[in-house]
A and B are shown apart, each in its own frame.
Chain A
């Protein structure tokens, strides 16, 4: 109990509060810029956290994640331009409602549903994760290796259009994770004589390189073909352009259904936010009394999709905190941030860094409240962000990427690395090779290598001992079957 109170005090300190608030603000602003999204916002924000205390740093990134989730809805509703695939579901009803003269109502519905969905999944995380971690602690390296392999297979199977490309991306990421000093023998691998590579590739440089910079280049490439789109004005002229309490209360079924779907999907690695948003939308249409209204500006549609896709973000931390497995890109970047601050995600985190984790739980709840407050008060300002033309935003964001990496790594070496990975990221995007698989491979690579090495050492003296690890055997046997089923149904499940 003392531990939880201390964690709460840490979370409520001014530093943590301000970090989370700034994170939420960065997340909403970057998420609202067409073409940028929450994972990019996290990648750009990671360098800013290098000098912070772990709780303030991770709290800030969680704030970016939550703010980015709502920020994405702003572009989707006002511009009909989803920043991420899952926001496409929000455009179905959000944009028609905005076009009918009620953009504020659409944004408020998205904001409130998003906060409720996110809070529900956070509560599930807070209640379940410590218990699941106790079970996870019983897993040895053999079980962990099997879990990691099936998770990476799930992610590779579901991301992108082609399985070979997905597996190639994951293996390239895992290969690049071996750069640096070998943890067992301390001999350098792939350092090419650069002392800067002895600690491995800097995650922030790689993440910004493959995620943010290629997207900026592609947006700049649109060039003169950019046409200013019509943005629905958020004004206070229309009295009925606000959601009333009774209207919001009437949305409790789609919101809680969406939160349930989002939480269940988020807890499984690889399934993704898009699936949650569209499943929730389909379920709401099925159970709606007036299904014909969905698609023409129904509040139910916005509530269902926003609560579901926000619920995924909290639930994604369940496999991350209990097993150290990131379920999606955002979680993979958070793993990187944890490692940068000397915290290793996994079941032991509840023993080694319990105060930090309970502080993080409190910071997550605080972030939800801040999204609600900042989002409500800043609605009109954030709505203006989508109007800023790309030739102003993207060059500045590109310079911020360069500056962020320079400052965080203390030199130009990492900036050149970032540029190299930007070339790789651009080619991957154009050739439809999943960047998600690449980043998750990069983050999971060292864990998989270590657990496999430990397993082989354990089993080398007595190979028959493999039969003592029935759970691992079942998982290894199930991996190709699950992969085959997912590949067969990929068109339906994929994040695109």
Chain B
């Protein structure tokens, strides 16, 4: 296991270095930054849904929570290091509390979807209604529908006047994504990750084997929220304003669409799904002939109907069929249905 992990890290580093070098030659770094942030957000849902089997319709809640935490903390502290940490910790704690409630109540399946969705809507409604001056945290006004503008953006740790922006910020985000990706890989290779996949496959069996599935699901859910929170904080830095639309149903829908198109149950699928679709959306936004939403809708329906495993697994399978040396087991992974993808990531 150890050997393949280091190989994994090497591959990740080489590929991401190549991408970080090559992509700015084609697309502006400003656009790339947001694509990377969405990729991280997609990865967070891919982790908990694809590998943990936790159906979460409200992943945007943690994204928004991370962004708001960062904005509020940045206004109060006047620098960005502690707010960045808080933006990871607060969503994680929030998700852990929610997870305690949901998983210890033995909620599964579509009921999880409802609760996560509802919690996101509660946050959305609450933040939307905080326009008045009485809603203040420290020096930061929550601002209701208008959101919070004008907070301190990312700076070099320890020097609040040295801002990181533009190209430099792109590299920061790209490195962050690579780091998160490596951490997720390590997590999935660890016994915790393999047990999580086991729980996805058969909860009863895993609990009969003596694993505390409730605690494990809660922890996994919380890790997913932490990643989404980090993505939210990076987003806040990129857009320099946070608004309640971060919590919206549309945002959550988009995250799910990214994962479906890219493919759940593998690590790169959600990232490429997110970046690819977000890029298509930006391109589509430049024309006004066909409505944007319509195309996203068609993409989702077509993928659910014809390619339910997603693009990346389908391409991988095609590659295996055309060029792959048929190993024992390699052909088996191709036949598995969705939500039961490669156990080792």
Query: Is the pairing of A and B real?
Result: no
Residues in chain A within 8 A of chain B (CB atoms): none
Residues in chain B within 8 A of chain A (CB atoms): none
